[in-house]
Homo-oligomer: A and B are copies of this chain.
């Protein structure tokens, strides 16, 4: 009689191969650009023929989606990892923004995939998108803990984050021309959101 094994070695192997493909895809897009990903090149990189990839991913966009999901999970992890308020809100804001800009500049292609909409036919699946939403909600909770609860204040903070990051990546890649402004920008922001005269 058939006994269901506790481990499904076949499924494990399959997942391992999928992970290998995703890793190789990151290498490719980092080297050639996000839009330059091709199924052929990717297959060769993992020692397969192109059609064999379709046993693991239904389409090229499914591969993009796997990259998006993994990047969003890394972002969520990155945000959650620094949830340690010090009692000094400004210091926490500075640390959080530094972490964000570093996360983005560490891997500009990942930033492009997660926070810009630049790939022609690709939209993340609802499941993958939910992960990135969770990341934003984590930021929201984090700054709420610092006393910043106005929706517009969160929006202003995300604008500052993407603006500093965008300029850094586009106009001074590898440098620190906008990274140097993070502390000052957070001071500006913190003063603004705390010295508000009236609730709008």
Residues of chain A at the chain B interface (Cβ within 8 Å) = 33, 35-36, 112, 115-118, 120, 152, 155-156, 158-164, 166-167, 170, 177-178, 180-181, 184-185, 187-189, 191-192
Partner of A181 from B35, B159, B170, B185 at Cβ < 8 Å: B159
CB neighbours (8 Å) of A35 from chain B are 35, 118, 120
C-alpha spacing A166/B177, complex, angstroms: 19
CA distance A120 to B116 in the complex (A): 15
Tell whether, in the assembled complex, residue A36 and residue B159 are in contact, meaning their CB atoms are under 8 Å apart.
no
New contact pairs (17) apart from A158-B163, A162-B167, A188-B191, CB-CB < 8 Å:
A35-B35, A35-B120, A116-B116, A118-B118, A152-B180, A155-B177, A156-B184, A156-B188, A159-B163, A159-B167, A159-B185, A160-B160, A162-B162, A166-B166, A188-B189, A191-B192, A192-B192
5 closest A-B pairs by CB: A163-B163, A159-B163, A188-B192, A118-B118, A159-B164
Assembly CA distance A178 to B155 (angstroms): 7
Q: Which residues of B contact A118 (CB under 8 A)?
A: 35, 112, 116, 118
Contact B152 A181 (CB under 8 A): yes
Chain B residues near A177: list those with CB within 8 A. 155
Q: Which residues of B contact A159 (CB under 8 A)?
A: 160, 163-164, 166-167, 178, 181, 185
Q: Complex formed: what's the CA distance from A68 to B161 in Å?
A: 26
Which B residue sits closest to A187, measured CB to CB?
B192
Q: Check A166/B116 contact, CB under 8 A, given A152-B180, A156-B185, A188-B189.
A: yes
The answer to whether A170 and B120 touch across the interface, beta carbons within 8 angstroms, is no
Alpha-carbon distance A167/B35, docked complex (angstroms): 22
- List residues of chain B with CB within 8 A of the CB of A189: 188
